[in-house]
Structure 1
Amino acid sequence: MQNQILKAGQTFPDIKVKTEDGREQALVDVHNKATTAKWTLVTVYRGQHCPICLKYLNELNLFTGRFNALDIELVAVSADDKQQLAQFKDKGLEVSFPVVLELQVEDMKKLGLYISEPTSNAETDHLFAEPALFLVNPKGKITMIEIANAPFIRPDIDRFVSGLEYAMEHNYPTRGTHSY
C-alpha cells in the first residue's frame, strides 16, 4: 500500500493502537465524536530514540491547560512498544496526556506519514513515522494537518496554540480543501 494523502475536511482514518496497559483502542474514536464536544490533537512522534521528540512532548504538556480550555484532548502515538515507552519515561518523558503504542506501518501509510528506517539497532528496532500533527474536530473530521519528513520540522507550540485559540474564537474554517 502506498501512502495516502489525507485532505483537510476528511474523516480521520479508523486506526487501532495499544494503550500502555495493553488494551486496543481507536487512536481517534471517530464513531463517538458525534456525541462529544471534544476535539483531538494527535501528535505522532518518532519514538523513544528521539531526543527532539522528548523535548517536544514535554513542552506540549506545558500547554495542556490552554488545550483543555479549547476542549482539545491530546494524544501522542508512535510505533514503539510498551518497553520502549518505559525507556522514554526513564529518559524524562513526563506528560499528563495519553501516549499510545504500536502504530503499524499500514496505518502510517493511511495517515500519509513519512516512514524511516533506523540507522542502526542502537536507534530502534523497527520502522518509525516521522513527526505529524492532526487536529480532529468533534465530528471526526481533520481540520488541520502538519506532516514532516524530519524531526527538526515542527510548529512552535506557543504560536500553534495561539493560532488554535484564534481559530476557535473566530470559527475559522478548515483551510486547504480546494480540489484541483
Structure 2
Amino acid sequence: MSAKPAVGQPVPAFSLPLAGGGAVTIGGPRDRWQILFVYRGKHCPRCKRFLGKLNAALSEWTAVMDVVVASADPADKAQADIAEHGWSFPLAHSLPIQTARDLGLYISEPLSEAETEATFAEPGTFAMRPDGTLMLVDISNGPAARPDLEELLDGMRFNIDKDRPTRGVD
C-alpha cells in the first residue's frame, strides 16, 4: 500500500516535459502558489469534461496560482489532446509511474487495448505553497470522483487570503 501524501512537507521539485516543447517544474520553492491536476490520459472522457471546465475558468485560477495539468501519456497523445480540445493550460506529459506513486496516486493497468496501451495514473490534485510545501491533496482511484472546481478555487482563495494552516498533517 502506498503512503499517503505528506501534507505540510516539501514536495521535492521535479520536471516534466510540456506538450509543444519546454518543461515545467512541479514542487520546490517558487514565487506563487501552484496546483497540479493529474488526469488519466487521452483515453478518458471524464477527464476531458473536467479539464474543459478547468480551461473555461483558467483565468480565474491563474489569477490565484500557477496551474499545471499532467498525465503519464506520451508527448503525441498530450499534443493530440491540446489540438482536439483547445486547452490553454500548461499540459505536461510522460509523468513517470514511480513519480505518480511517490505522489500517492493510484495506478491502473488498461482494461483492454481499446482503453489505452500503457499503465497510467488515476486522478489527483495537489496544491503547493510558494515555499514548496504540500497544502492540499485530493486523490481518486477512478475517473468518477473529482473535486468541484468552483468549490476548490473558492477554498483556495480563502486559504491563501487568510493564510490558513495546512490541515490533516497527522
TM over 0.5: yes
1:61-80 alignment, distance < 5 Å? 61-70=55-64, 72-80=65-73
Q: Which residue of 2 aligns with 1:83?
A: 76
Residues 1:153 and 2:145 aligned together = yes
Q: 2:131 — aligned with what?
A: 139
CA distance in 1, matches of 2:111, 2:69: 23
Given that 1:41 and 1:134 are in contact with CA atoms closer than 8 Å, whether structure 2 keeps it comes out as yes
Query: Deviation string for 1:21-57 (max 9, x for gaps)?
Result: 454553x151x52xx1x11110000000001111111
Alignment partners' CA distance in 2, 1:166 and 1:16:
29
Structure-2 separation of matches of 1:94 and 1:74: 16
Which among 54, 57, 60 is matched to residue 60 of structure 1? 54
Aligned residues: 170
> Is 1:127 aligned with 2:126?
no
Match of 1:169 in 2: 161
Per-residue deviation, 1:89: 3.2
Q: Secondary structure at the match of 2:138?
A: strand
| Cα distance, 1:7 vs structure 2 | 1.4
SS in 2 for 1:74: strand
Deviation at 1:163, TM superposition (A): 1.2
1:115 aligns with 2:121: no
Gaps spanning 5+ residues in structure 2: where?
none
Given residue 61 of structure 2, which amino acid in structure 1 is its aligned partner? F
Contact 2:125 2:139 in 1 (8 A): yes
TM-score by length of 2: 0.91
| 1:51 alignment partner, one of 45, 54, 62 | 45
Corresponding position: 1:104 with 2:96: yes
Distance in 2 (CA, whole Å) between partners of 1:177 and 1:95 is 34
Aligned to 1:9: 8
**Residue 86 of structure 1, CA deviation:** 3.0
Q: Aligned AA for 2:119?
A: L
Deviation per CA, 1:48-76: give whole Å up to 9, x if none.
Answer: 00011111111011222222222x01000
- Higher deviation after alignment, 110-119 or 163-172: 163-172
SS of alignment partner, residue 155 of structure 1: coil
In the alignment, structure 1 segments of 5+ residues that lack a partner are none
TM-score normalised by the chain length of structure 1: 0.87
